[in-house]
Amino acid sequence: YVTSPRKITITLQRNGMLLWQRETALDPVQVLKEDIPQREAFPAHELVLTVIDRAAGQQLMRYTPPKPTLQDIPAPATPAKPPAEIGSTDELFLNGLHLEQYRHATFKPEDYYLEALRRDPYDSRCNNAMGVLALRRGDFLAAEHSFRRAIVRIISRNPNPYDGEAYYNLGLALRFQQRLDEAFDAFYKATWNAAWQDAAFFELARIQSRRGDLTDALRLAQSALRRNACHHQARHLEIQLLRRLGNQPAALLAVDTALLLDPMDPGAAWEQRLLRGTSTVADALQWNAHLCETLALEYCHAGDTQSALAVLAVGRQDAPLNHYLRAFVLYQDGQKDAALHALQVANACTPDWCFPHRLEHVVVLQHALAHAPSDGRASYYLGNFWYAHRMPDAAIECWQHAVAHDPHNAVAWRNLGLAYTDHHGDLIAATAAYSQARTHDPHDARLLYEVDQLARVRGDAPAMRLQALASAPSLVDQRDDLTIEYVTLLNNAGRHQQAVDILRQRSFHPWEGGEGRVAAQYVAALIGVAQSLLASDAAAALAALDAAIAYPHNLGEGKLPGSNENHIHYWRGVALTALGLHDAARAAWQHATRGDSEPTSARYYNDQPPDMIWYQGIAWRKLGDDTRATELFARLIAYARLHRDDVLRPDYFAVSYPTFLVFNDDSVLRHQLHCDYMEALGQLGAHQYTEAAVLFEKVLAREPNHTGTLTHKRFLNRTDI
């Protein structure tokens, strides 16, 4: 496969002897795939494959399969220790850096940096790291503070530090605050180190361009290019400066150089159109809102407001962030009336598909709010940025401002409900916010799903949740996750046949965090149907249980190896006994005793649920082995009592949570409920019904929607279990 049209020669040799050769013309569409028969056995590492470009006489590839060698197995990765247990600030920094680089799902790099700074408040690397985190979040003042503390340490013995990163980052924090003179000094200090020269010279050139000193700006841009010839932004800046200085021949030469390095460089293509009046590259590019904004920001940073406005005029005119940027540029250009009009246009644009993600968006939106304080959309967008960057209090303040000036913004109300729940723990305020959201957008099925999840967090009775979902069938039908919540509530209410009907009629699609949920409710529904039929029609009950073993295609997921089915086979044994098939019943109960019998905290997908261990116990009882049954029930009780007060930490190697969570999960409460439920099952199996009933009620008092408890408390005082 080649990435551009080529005439090539391909050879395959073995120990210098030609086995096969082909001359052909290939391109990205026309590929070569051929099987070559092997006439005798020999090791693969004796082969050499070469690919040569005939026109250029250039060898494109030479490959020999590696010779098999015995190598030591690499040592397994180890989890990071908690910050307080790490001995040195150097290790703390490296652990935090690792978490940043791999975007860890549950561990925070700040915890490691802050522990280092607790021990040494002026640790340069950790202060710089904290500054970078604050900078990415748009908290420019906090970033400046951290960078200045880092600089105190790195210049404590030498005014010219070994590494200029902290100075460069300080320059960025100051530039975003529009403090250009201070930023200029910081960037210039960063040029002391070769590692930061190209980046710092580029920023210096931008500032000089904004100041109007185009000649010095050109010198600085070319200094950046001497350090890094592939710095495309610096090359674009060089072209525009040459054009603005009136040196068209040099500008055109720079355009040609830029397009040779990157034939689809949008900045060079735009300049080519300005200089020559035409550009095939510019004509080929899709000038969408994102690309126009990117290029306009390049001109804006260089103080070329007219070029920035011209680029923004090309893109879509319904992109709100482009209009907020246009207002910012117009204000910088002194066109204040036009800037206010642009703010009005931005406010009127639909917010669909608009999410601020650049640091420049913070500056632009703050500028909008400074000049149009009643702009609810600008504060809504800014709140989205803050929340996405882990600044919930700033986000809540923005969204409160947004709904005060734009009360019909359902998503802003929804965002407030989410933030009130997760960061203030204020379920009353969250409920009111979600109520407003649904009032202003009653047809959004996602809102109904989140309202139902909030009801679960509040501890609303299952019957109330079921009634709320039953009253909006068209919305429930729009989402798989909402449908499965409805089905779960039906099963919890004992309406199993209705649950089965829904599950059989709908085609589900897999979704992240929903693995196994559809199949679990399908099995639960059929077991419930079977239990209701046992007394009247054992054959129909057995058919329902057999159907639970084979998942139909419409469930959207297959059965994982080692799936827990002790409950199915236990009830199959009961049904077979009712039909007089005692040998088959014993075989089913024997099957129900399989699987892991060790209780766990049930934190992961493959952990054995306590329900399955309970079914193993009652299956052993059916088989006449009361000793094994008693041992299993005692094991459930002992584990629950021993581990109820454990402090569980997220697993270091877990890349996500096992289920999709709308709201933050209380892991302490979840673990305690799990242990209470586990002990209740053990007491139930041991026929200690009073103790089991107390524990079941304890679980339901804190989690009225606990499916396992709602299912198994029905077996209290049943002597046949």
Q: Is pLDDT above 70 for 29?
A: yes
Residue 653 confidence (pLDDT):
82
State mean pLDDT over 66-84: 91
Q: State in Å, rounded, how far the first CA of the chain is from the last one.
A: 66
- Look at residues 424, 422, 475, 474 and name the one whose alpha carbon lies nearest to residue 452: 475
Residue 566 confidence (pLDDT):
97
Tokens of 339: 């800037």
C-alpha span between 112 and 472 (Å, rounded): 47
Q: In what order do the strands lie in the sheet with 47-53?
A: 17-26, 6-14, 47-53, 58-63
C-alpha span between 435 and 416 (Å, rounded): 11
Q: Is pLDDT above 90 for 688?
A: yes
Q: Is pLDDT above 90 for 657?
A: no
Of 204-208, 275-279, 596-600, give the range with the top mean pLDDT: 204-208
Tokens of 216: 């010095």
C-alpha span between 6 and 2 (Å, rounded): 7
Q: Is pLDDT above 90 for 601?
A: no
Q: Do residues 307 and 332 touch, judged by C-beta distance below 8 A?
A: no
C-alpha span between 322 and 346 (Å, rounded): 8
State mean pLDDT over 115-131: 98
- Look at residues 529, 530, 610 and name the one whose alpha carbon lies nearest to residue 573: 530
Residue 604 confidence (pLDDT):
64
Place of tokens 């650049």: 358
Q: Do residues 314 and 290 touch, judged by C-beta distance below 8 A?
A: no
Q: Is pLDDT above 70 for 603?
A: no
C-alpha span between 451 and 407 (Å, rounded): 19
Condensed to tens digits (0 to 9), the pLDDT of residues 282-296 reads 999 999 999 999 999
Q: Is pLDDT above 70 for 300?
A: yes
Report the phi/psi class of residue 500: left, alpha or beta, with left for phi > 0 and alpha for psi in -120 to 50: alpha
Q: Do residues 92 and 86 touch, judged by C-beta distance below 8 A?
A: yes
C-alpha span between 632 and 671 (Å, rounded): 20
C-alpha span between 327 and 324 (Å, rounded): 5
Please list the residues that pair with 25 across neighbouring strands. 7
Continuous segment of H or E residues that includes residue 10: strand 6-14
Q: Do residues 618 and 570 touch, judged by C-beta distance below 8 A?
A: yes
Residue 656 confidence (pLDDT):
62
In sequence order, which residues have a C-beta less than 8 Å from that of residue 8 and are 6 or more positions away? 2, 23, 24, 25, 26, 51, 52, 53, 54, 60
Q: Percentage of residues in the chain with pLDDT exceeding 70?
A: 99
C-alpha span between 544 and 564 (Å, rounded): 17
Continuous segment of H or E residues that includes residue 92: helix 89-101
Return the minimum-mean-pLDDT range out of 116-130, 507-521, 632-646: 507-521
Q: Is pLDDT above 70 for 655?
A: no
Residue 652 confidence (pLDDT):
83
- Look at residues 304, 295, 352, 344 and name the one whose alpha carbon lies nearest to residue 323: 344
What are the C-alpha distances in Å from 276 to residues 234, 241, 264, 302? 21, 16, 17, 22
Question: Could you tell me whether strands 58-63 and 6-14 are parallel, antiparallel, or unpaired per DSSP bridges?
Answer: unpaired
Please list the residues that pair with 53 across neighbouring strands. 8, 58
What are the C-alpha distances in Å from 593 to residues 419, 574, 599, 607? 46, 14, 14, 16
Residue 554 confidence (pLDDT):
97
In sequence order, which residues have a C-beta less than 8 Å from that of residue 4 and are 6 or more positions away? 27, 28
Counting DSSP H helices and E strands in the chain, the numbers are: 35, 4
pLDDT band at 106 (very low <50, low <70, confident <90, very high): confident
511/493: higher pLDDT: 493
Condensed to tens digits (0 to 9), the pLDDT of residues 247-270 reads 999 999 999 999 999 999 999 999
As a whole number, the mean pLDDT across the chain is 95
C-alpha span between 243 and 307 (Å, rounded): 11
Residue 515 confidence (pLDDT):
86
C-alpha span between 222 and 227 (Å, rounded): 9
C-alpha span between 543 and 437 (Å, rounded): 46
Q: Is pLDDT above 80 for 602?
A: no
Buried b (16+ CB within 10 A) or exposed e, 673-698: bbbbbbbbbbbbbbebeebbbebbeb
Return the minimum-mean-pLDDT range out of 24-33, 500-509, 678-687: 24-33
pLDDT band at 479 (very low <50, low <70, confident <90, very high): very high
Cα radius of gyration rounded to whole Å, the chain: 33
Phi/psi at 336 (5° precision): -70, -40
- Look at residues 284, 290, 289, 245 and name the one whose alpha carbon lies nearest to residue 268: 284
Tokens of 37: 């028969």
Condensed to tens digits (0 to 9), the pLDDT of residues 177-200 reads 999 999 999 999 999 999 999 999
Query: What is the three-state SS of 136-177?
Result: HCCCHHHHHHHHHHHHHHHCCCCCCCCCCHHHHHHHHHHHHC
Condensed to tens digits (0 to 9), the pLDDT of residues 309-343 reads 999 999 888 999 999 999 999 999 999 999 999 99
State mean pLDDT over 471-493: 97
Condensed to tens digits (0 to 9), the pLDDT of residues 532-559 reads 999 999 999 999 999 999 999 999 999 8
